[in-house]
Structure formats: C-alpha cells, structure tokens
Structure 1
Amino acid sequence: MIRPSCLVASALTAGMLLSTAACSNGGGDGSGSARTDSPASPASTVPASPVAEEPGAASASPSPSVRELTEAEARAALITNSDLGSQWTESKGVAAWHDTLLKSKVDASSFITDKGNAQQCQKLLDGLYSEDLLGKPRGAGAVTGFDDSDNNAQMRYEVASYGKNALDAQLKWLSTLPDLCDQFTAVNGKGDRQTVQVIETQLPHEGDARQGLRVTMNGKLEGDPDTLTLDFAAVRVGDSALSLTNGGLGGTEHQSTEQAVQAGTSRLQDVLAGKSPAPTQG
C-alpha cells in the first residue's frame, strides 16, 4: 500500500526550493529563477559559493574562462509547466517525505564487502536532501518547481553555471553510483528502515554530457509501507547545466523527466547563445 505524502506549508530557504505534490534501465553516458525564499514564487537566485574538493563534489578551481549565467539568463532558461503537460502546476509547498526519507543515514553493515562505498551512498542521499548533487553554482542560478497532483509527484528544476571541469567530474561520480551503491539500507531519524536501490536511466541525447539516475526507497514510514521513487537528471551545456528531480510516493513518470530535459536543454542553449528562448508551446 502506498501512503500518500503530506504537504508541509513552509517558506523555502535561500538555498533550497522544493516542489510538492499533495500531502528502466538504460545508460546515461556520464560522457527556477534564482532560488526563492517563498513557495509562492516560481523562480529564485543562488549566490556564488565555494565548492569543496572531494569525491562527489565539484572542483573548487574551474577554468577562469567559465561563462557564468546572469540572474536574468538563468530565469530565462527555466522550463514552465507547459513544457511538461497539463497535469503539472506550480509548486505550492514542501513534501513531508523530503525530511522523513531523504534525511537518512546509510547502514554501513548492509555493505558486506567494500564498506567504503557506504560513504559514497551517504553523499548521494545528502545531495538529494540538500539539492546540490552537482555542487554549488559559481554564480547566479535559477530554481522552479511543479506538482503533478494526478500522480502525487513533484519536480524540482534548476539551471546554473558551475564550470565544465567541475561538471564533468561530478557527472563521472554520479555515473559510478549504480555500481557503488546498487542496493543498501538507510535509516531515518525515527528508526524507519528503507531498502534503497540506485540504477542508471536513459536520457535523451541532449547537451554536451548527461547523467540519469533512479533512486527507489522501499520500506516503512511510521509503521506504514511506503515507496519513494525519484528520477535525477543532469545535462551539461558548456559551463552550465540543468538538473532536476522528479517523483514522489506515488512513483515517477520518466516521460516527464525526458520532456523536461529536451525542453530545458534547448532553452539553455538559446540563452547561452544570446538568444531569447522560443515561447513554450502550451
């Protein structure tokens, strides 16, 4: 039985925007709005921030020729709900499962061999929770969010500049997670145990490099059976990238992930070329 998620009415912090709903296997080639302070705002900005040099984090010293997006450019590169389908609407709140499931600790004992991999899997969960799997943007960024009430799903979508080298390193790390993590156990703050599976997903061949993952957390939440399914997708275009999470306790539609990748890459390419993105066809 799937337990529907609950919405938590909450202002979003400057470092985070979450979209909310009511409350596959292939291979990525590894090859909105600045952030908002209010869930009512469809887009928001991200200040420049240093990036730690460690596995699973973007490089702190990208090329000085990085093309940093301006706030206006980042906003212009965001998709809208018209790019996704009629069931998607602007996000209005924060999903309860964000804290109750993603804020979990990896049970290292579930790794019979290669227990060091538990650290990489913890970085994955931490990155999903803090919404920075690509590292910290070098300058302005934009975030937007959407709810799919038909499927109890949500999508968070971000555009920012990071630097080519930093992005390629991060995409390479992400591509290792299906092998390093595969299946493990995570425990939340209330002691609920989840079996976590990580697989690679196929993305449209857009941009200069891309990586797709699906993360499934299956177990119990406060005594009731629950399954959280999330798509994560990232596409690099030059020094910039779009990234998104899509899913929820009602599952995820990979088609919406693909639509967002295709529309978002086109918009980001136009912005970087100094063009105004073509109007979304509603």
Structure 2
Amino acid sequence: MSAALRRGALAAFAAASLLTLSACGDADKGGEQPSAAQSSGPATGSAAPAPGKGAGARPLTGEQAKAALLTPGDLPSGWEVNKDIPAYDVGATGMQFGKAGTAACQPLLDAFVGADNGPKAQAHAMTDLKQAGETGIQMTQGITSYQEAEAVKIMQQKIDFGACGKFAAKGADGTTDQAAGSELTVPALGDGARGMRVVFAATEEGVSIQHDIAAVRVGGTVVTVSQASFTTADTAAFEASLRKAVEKVQKVQKAQQKAGAKA
C-alpha cells in the first residue's frame, strides 16, 4: 500500500514496505470555510451542536492543547507512544490523509480539521499511539482550537458519503490508492460529535487498512481521534479514547475559565 494515509498511517508496517509515511501541514494555511460536499450532514447517532452550550469559550493556547493530549496512561492497558513517528507539530493539515481525485470526497481525507482551505487554527497539537503486540492498531489524536463559530462550521460541513463509496486517494509520494468512505456512529459527546470510516483497498504490494475517525466539538475546540487497523478495529479502545480525550479538553477549559474569572 502507498503513502495515501500520510502521517496517520500505520508506521509500524513501513519497514515491511506496506506503507510510506509522509507528514505535511502548515498551521498558517486557511482562513476560508472548509470544503463541503452536497449531501450528508452530521452522522446518524451523533449529537447536533447545542446552541449556547460552551458559548464564548476562548480558543486553547498551544500549551493547553498539548496538555490535553492523550497519554498511554489514559487508555486501556496495552497502548504506548508510537516512537516510529517523530514527535513534531505539523499543523492541523497534518491530520489529512491525502488528496481525493473527486472534490466531493476530499472531506473524507481531511479528518474534519485538515482541509487546506479550512479555518485558521488558533492552536493545534497531536499525538500518535499504538497498541502493543502484533495487532498493528494505531491511533492518532488531535486537538485543534478555533474561534467557536469556526469550530461550529467545521462540525456542520456536509460530506457526500453517497458519492464516495469508491474514490481515488493520492498520497504524498504521488501514488494513488482506492478508498471507500461511509458514516460511522460515535458516542454523542461534547457540543456535537461526528464519525466516518475510510477504508483503503488492498493492492498487490500491500493490505487493506481501515480508519475509524471521530470528531467532537467542545466549545471552540475540535477533538479528533483516528484509529487505523488492518481487519478488526478495537471499538472499545476507540470510544474510550474519544471519551477520555473530550474529558481532558473539558478539564483544561474549566481551568481556563476559572483563571479568567480570577483575572
């Protein structure tokens, strides 16, 4: 399989020539609304943004975003930091998996916050974790903070799942894979939650890889969790990680509000 999965790919299999990882991103890109396809809105089973809930929340700082990232201690046993992927900040577009051959399908590769023409993030942090052992399951978590109105737009963007049952995805190395997108029901958390699944088809050189992706808005911050697996996703760990990630952001925001009230 090629580099279509970009930074969020399964780095553990790079040595086996199944993947070639490439990270890119520029936190200063954007300023416009994220690209929007024409049909499907928020995924079935996800919570719609709640008017007034979390209203007026200030964007997190870079240090606050980093402090809210998941650590192995936050997850069920058997997870560790993925040292195969260098720890550096590539900006919100680093969550992106590749470039879609069909414009309507690009949001499926943007992991909600990774659009090249999306709103400018006020702060962004991300981490990569992997499940110990031979499962190969990996997880990328991002915390991207915006002005709240921009975070709402990101969560409300339309994604045309009907048109993206099969589409081409070009990786950073110039190779192209076939991908398929569908809606994914995720826990109703925060001020709105959405999910989607992107499966990259097997090739002669590689294997099929599934990405389960969830995004939750907490005020002006979008929490994203993307789990990559070969055949069987660890749904329990995926949902537990999402819940914990949201909880950590909420805790940071409460501390931020408390400090602001004392100022």
Same fold (TM over 0.5): yes
Q: RMSD of the TM alignment (CA)?
A: 3.8
Counterpart AA for 1:132: G
Contact 1:19/1:146, CA 8 A, preserved across alignment: no
Equivalent position of 2:90 in the other structure: none
Shift of 1:256: 1.9
Match of 1:124? 108
Structure 1 residues 185 and 144, CA gap change in structure 2 (3 angstroms): closer
CA contact (8 A) 1:228 1:251 kept: no
Paired position in structure 2 for 1:269: 250
Q: 1:158 to 1:190 in 2, by over 3 A?
A: closer
User: Partner of 2:131 in structure 1?
Assistant: 148
Secondary structure in structure 2 of the residue aligned to 1:219: coil
Structure 2 gaps of 5+ residues are 14-22, 38-55, 87-96, 258-263
Question: Displacement, 1:141?
Answer: 2.1
Q: Could you tell me whether the CA contact under 8 Å between 1:20 and 1:94 is conserved in 2?
A: no
The CA deviation at 1:258 is 0.6
Contact 1:89/1:147 (<8 A) preserved: yes
**What's the CA shift for 1:192?**
5.7
What is the rounded CA distance, in whole Å, between the counterparts of 1:133 and 1:257 in structure 2? 23
d(CA) in 2 for partners of 1:213 and 1:142? 21
Q: Relative to total residues, which structure has the larger strand share, 1 or 2?
A: 1
Residue 20 of structure 2 corresponds to which residue in structure 1?
A: none
Verify: 1:204 aligned to 2:187, yes or no.
yes
Q: Which amino acid aligns with 2:165?
A: D
Report the identity percentage: 23
Aligned twin of 2:205: 224
Q: CA deviation at 1:202?
A: 1.6
Q: Does 1:22 align with 2:12?
A: yes
Take 1:53 and 1:190, find their aligned partners in 2: how far apart are those partners?
A: 27
Match status 1:52 vs 2:32: yes
Match for residue 80 of structure 1? 71
Alignment check: 8 A CA contact 2:100 2:167 kept: no
Q: For residue 28 of structure 1, what is the aligned residue in structure 2?
A: none
Note if contact 1:163-1:239 (Cα within 8 Å) is conserved in structure 2. Answer: yes
TM-score with structure 1 length normalisation?
0.63
Distance 1:82 1:172 in 2: 32
Secondary structure at the residue paired with 2:161?
helix
Whichever residue aligns with residue 51 of structure 1, its letter is G
Distance 1:158 1:104, change over 3 A: closer
Deviation at 1:190, TM superposition (A): 6.9
Letter in 2 for 1:139: Q
Shift of 1:166: 1.9
Aligned ranges for residues 105-116 of structure 1 at < 5 Å? 105-106=100-101
Alignment of 1:166-245 (within 5 A): 166-173=150-157, 176-186=159-169, 193-194=177-178, 196-220=179-203, 223-224=204-205, 226-245=207-226
1:91 aligns with 2:72: no
1:258 alignment partner, one of 218, 239, 242: 239
For residues 115 and 137 of structure 2, the distance between their equivalents in structure 1, rounded to whole angstroms, comes to: 20
DSSP-derived class of the 2:198 partner = strand
Q: Indicate the SS of the match to 1:179.
A: helix
Q: Sort the Cα spacing of 1:56 and 1:214 in 2 relative to 1 into closer, same or farther, 3 A.
A: same
The answer on whether the counterparts of 1:68 and 1:140 sit within 8 Å (CA) in structure 2 is: yes
Alignment TM-score, normalising by the size of structure 2:
0.67
Alpha carbons of structure 1 residues 249 and 218: separation in structure 2 relative to 1, 3 Å: same
How far the C-alpha of 1:133 sits from its partner, in A, is 4.8
| CA distance in structure 2 between the partners assigned to 1:191 and 1:18 by the alignment | 17
How far is the alpha carbon of 1:191 from its aligned partner? 5.9
SS of residue paired to 1:252: coil
Whether the 8 Å CA contact 1:211–1:233 is kept in 2: the answer is: yes
Shift of 1:18: 4.9
Could you say if the C-alpha distance between residues 256 and 208 of structure 1 is closer, same or farther in structure 2, counting changes exceeding 3 Å? same
Cα distance between partner residues in 2 of 1:21 and 1:155:
11
The unaligned stretches of length 5 or more in structure 1 are 7-15, 24-38, 40-45, 58-64, 96-101, 107-117, 277-282
Equivalenced residue count is 216
Checking the alignment, whether the CA contact within 8 Å between 2:33 and 2:153 is kept in structure 1 is no
Query: Which residue in the other structure is 2:43 paired with?
Result: none
